[in-house]
């Protein structure tokens, strides 16, 4: 099973191939989780927030890929 960042990179390449001029607007949820990760007080909280941020980013990216 590929790591999360490998999945994101694969989808980035796919999106670039489909429409190199297309800019993806990130879901606000991604940014909220990313801020939570930055502010996390423990490594486990940070990892949970990062995992949620990655999932939110992938969902936003999948939505764009689905629309194309």
Report pLDDT digits (tens) over 18-62: 655 555 556 677 788 888 888 989 999 999 988 988 888 888 778
The yes-or-no verdict on residue 64 having pLDDT over 80 is no
The yes-or-no verdict on residue 1 having pLDDT over 50 is no
Give me the long-range contacts of 45-50 (CB less than 8 A, separation at least 24): none
Domain boundaries, the chain: 25-68
**pTM attached to this predicted model:** 0.60
Which pLDDT does position 6 carry in this prediction? 80
47: Cβ contacts below 8 Å, ≥ 6 apart: none
Contact 33, 53 (CB under 8 A): yes
Tell me the C-alpha distance between 45 and 16, whole Å.
Answer: 33
Distances, alpha carbon 20 to alpha carbons 25, 35, 51, 58, 60, in Å: 14, 28, 27, 18, 17
């Amino acid at each position: 099973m590929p790591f999360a960042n490998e999945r994101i990179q694969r989808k980035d390449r796919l999106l670039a191939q489909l429409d190199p001029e297309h800019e993806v607007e990130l879901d606000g949820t991604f940014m909220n989780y990313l801020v939570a990760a930055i502010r996390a007080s423990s490594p486990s909280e940070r990892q949970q927030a990062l995992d949620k941020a990655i999932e939110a980013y992938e969902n936003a990216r999948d939505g764009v890929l689905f629309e194309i």
